[in-house]
Amino acid sequence: MKYIIVFFFLISIFYSKSLEASAKNNIIKNFSDTRNLSFKFKQNINEKIQEGNCVIEYPKKIFCEYNESKKILVSDGRNLVIQNFNSDQYYIYPIEKTAFNLILDKNFLLNKIKSSKGDLVDNRYLRFKFVEGDNQINIFFDLSSHNITGWQNVDLYQNLVITYLFNLEKNIQIKKGQFKLPAHTNN
């Protein structure tokens, strides 16, 4: 009886490892074929929830509109701007000073995914965790669709940021000028 239990235990471990390796390969293939993404997001920064829509074009371009706060976040691949129209706040950062420098770099992420072991989360997601410089980032992929479902990082102000992606569309037609940085205007 003891041998049967050990046998089934070893089989389940082997099957689980095989499933994770297969999922990892499918994630790499799917992500490699992704040129851009459009999605809705829900973001938690220090227990404050914000929602909106984003478009990403690899490498390093993003445009996000936040629903409630009338805020946009834009990267042209070199700089990142956060502009809040309600309060006339305008922040510009070199992208390499932010976690987006890594999160929006598909080739960097693919190399990290290929060279690391993913962790199974809730039997639904494969998480890849890595540290690069001052950045510790977790990237999550759905096991069934093999699509990216979010990330977790610490922002410039040392806030934990958890971003969930949903209603994801890949390889869409992107508007010309989508990632043009907005000019700072005083009202």
- 74 and 80 Cβ atoms separated by less than 8 Å: yes
Q: What is the pLDDT of residue 187?
A: 53
Sign of CA dihedral 132, 118, 29, 146: negative
Q: Which domains does the chain have, with CATH numbers?
A: 2-170 (2.50.20)
Pairing of strands 119-121, 89-94: unpaired
| Rounded Cα distance, 64 and 158, in Å | 21
pLDDT value for 20: 58
One-letter amino acid identity for 107? N
Going along 4-147, which residue ranges are E strands? 36-45, 48-57, 61-66, 71-76, 79-84, 89-94, 119-121, 125-132, 135-142
pLDDT along the chain (187 residues), means of 10: 46 45 91 97 94 97 93 96 90 94 96 94 95 92 96 90 97 95 76
Please write down the long-range contacts of 88-94, taking CB distance under 8 Å and 24 or more positions apart.
Answer: 88/186, 88/187, 90/182, 90/184, 92/181, 92/184, 93/156
The CB density around residue 129, as the number of other CB atoms within 10 Å, is: 15
